[in-house]
Structure 1
Amino acid sequence: MREHSGRLRLAVSVLVFALLVLPAAPVVGAQDGTGEEPPLPDPGLLPGSPFYFVKQLLERVRLALARSTEDRLVLMARFLEVRLAEAEALAGRGKESLVERTMERYRELAERAALEVERASAQGRDITEALLALERATRRSREVLGQVLERVPDQARGAVRLALEASDIGREVCLRVMERIREGLAPGRPEVIDRFLSRLRGMLPGPGMGHEEEQTQGQDEGQGGGN
């Protein structure tokens, strides 16, 4: 009985500690007063810490207890940004082997999120807010991981490139579902998607835009020319 009680107290202590060290979830689509994207979250505990497993445990618990598919996807976007922040911090400290493992975790989560987005869309779920959060998280990986790639040795670059590839695929999935929402082919809030894509075009003009944004912009211009 005492042993069971001791384990229970330890579990509660671990979860309370994790709540203190894991950054809180952000407001989706939040911006600062300049209209720019907010900075990456504080990474909190980094891989290599003896307590990092607590952070991983709490992330898994929060995903498992998410109230809806959209809430779970928003959390995934948050954790993708945390992985980016971790990789950035580790690269700055010369922890190449830990960067490699962090990139593997990022890739696995990005792939899982992309699959869940496709599944949720096929099931007719409105995941508009999650799409915005995931698009931002995967888009930011291009800049952050590009810098990480320049700072790590060859042995870690393969994992970084695979993470970038998974991130690009995940972003394409999000943009594709957004376009389906705009066309009325999938449930969601097209007015929110339109505002988001308009802002995105302003942030990423010309060559910085992805294929999906260019396609959407071309359709809009074509419609405008026909009026």
Structure 2
Amino acid sequence: MTVICMFLASIAFAQNEPERLPDDPLYQAKRKMETAKLKATFDPLEKADLYTKYAKERLKEVKTMISKGKPEFVNDLLKDYEKYISGAMGQINKAQAQGYDVSEALEAVERSTKKHIEVLSDLVGKVPEEARSAIRHAIEVSKTGRNTALGILRKIQRGELPTSKPEGIGMPKGIGIPESIGKPEGIGKPEGVDKPEGVGRPKGVPVGGRG
């Protein structure tokens, strides 16, 4: 209980703290909190939402560090940005495979990456040449994420993919209590052991004979 209270308190503290940037000594604490939250989230759609949120945060940090004249942070931030965009799509694919309605998550990725492409394109001319290739690569990753999201959305709209969560999701089909559980076939009293004559006798087979 004490550990849980400390964890919740640390989250509340982090939420009330001013924005931490990559040049801040406490920035790594912020990133560790993000990682902890991702690890503690098991629902694929919720996890996709977190990845999308953190991708947006990395892009915001890129803009801020460029405005502060510190482009040396750009490459690492954009690598993380790309990882989160890919992570969001990975979780959406996982949710889709489990039968979840992924339409809203796909729309969120589509909207976000569209905006990200605009922001990144604007930043290309504001950084030294050595940072431009990282930005261009991030633009391509954003385009890939957006095009993938749009492609799946169109298939859903055409009815090629299901849009609803199947009955019983959360307990995949076949998982849980198997048919005849509690007395698997063949388990119990072996045939012929104290078995009264005629028990289990197929209909139509005379007692004491095979016909």
Decide whether aligned partners of structure 1 residues 9 and 75 sit closer, same or farther in structure 2, where only a CA change above 3 A counts. closer
2:24 pairs, out of 41, 49, 54, with: 49
**Which residue identity lines up with residue 15 of structure 2 in the other structure?**
L
Equivalent-residue separation in structure 1 for 2:72 and 2:143 (angstroms): 23
Counterpart residue number, 1:111: 86
Equivalent-residue separation in structure 2 for 1:48 and 1:9 (angstroms): 30
1:14–1:54 contact (8 Å) kept in structure 2: no
Counterpart residue number, 2:54: 79
Q: How far has the Cα of 1:8 moved from its partner?
A: 9.6
| 1:63-115, Cα deviation, whole Å (9 max, x unpaired) | 22235211111121111111121111111111111122111110111122223
Counterpart residue number, 1:170: 145
1:134–1:174 contact (8 Å) kept in structure 2: yes
**Which residue identity lines up with residue 65 of structure 2 in the other structure?**
L
**Which residue identity lines up with residue 173 of structure 1 in the other structure?**
T
Contiguous gaps of at least 5 residues in structure 1: 23-43, 190-227
Decide whether aligned partners of structure 1 residues 11 and 63 sit closer, same or farther in structure 2, where only a CA change above 3 A counts. closer
Equivalent-residue separation in structure 1 for 2:89 and 2:4 (angstroms): 36
Equivalent-residue separation in structure 2 for 1:111 and 1:9 (angstroms): 33
When the two chains are superposed, the root-mean-square deviation of aligned CA atoms in Å is: 2.5
Q: TM-score, normalised by structure 1?
A: 0.64
1:184 aligns with 2:159: yes
Q: TM-score, normalised by structure 2?
A: 0.68
**2:110 match: secondary structure:** helix
1:93 aligns with 2:84: no
Decide whether aligned partners of structure 1 residues 152 and 21 sit closer, same or farther in structure 2, where only a CA change above 3 A counts. same
Higher relative helix content = 1
Equivalent-residue separation in structure 2 for 1:120 and 1:158 (angstroms): 33
**2:112 match: secondary structure:** helix
Contiguous gaps of at least 5 residues in structure 2: 165-211
**2:21 match: secondary structure:** coil
**1:126 match: secondary structure:** coil
1:121–1:186 contact (8 Å) kept in structure 2: no
Counterpart residue number, 2:109: 134
2:123 pairs, out of 148, 172, 192, with: 148
2:133 pairs, out of 158, 161, 171, with: 158
Percent of aligned pairs with the same residue?
29
Rg larger in structure: 2
Decide whether aligned partners of structure 1 residues 90 and 73 sit closer, same or farther in structure 2, where only a CA change above 3 A counts. same
| 1:120-173, Cα deviation, whole Å (9 max, x unpaired) | 323432122211211111111111111221111011111111111111111111
Counterpart residue number, 1:125: 100
1:21–1:55 contact (8 Å) kept in structure 2: no
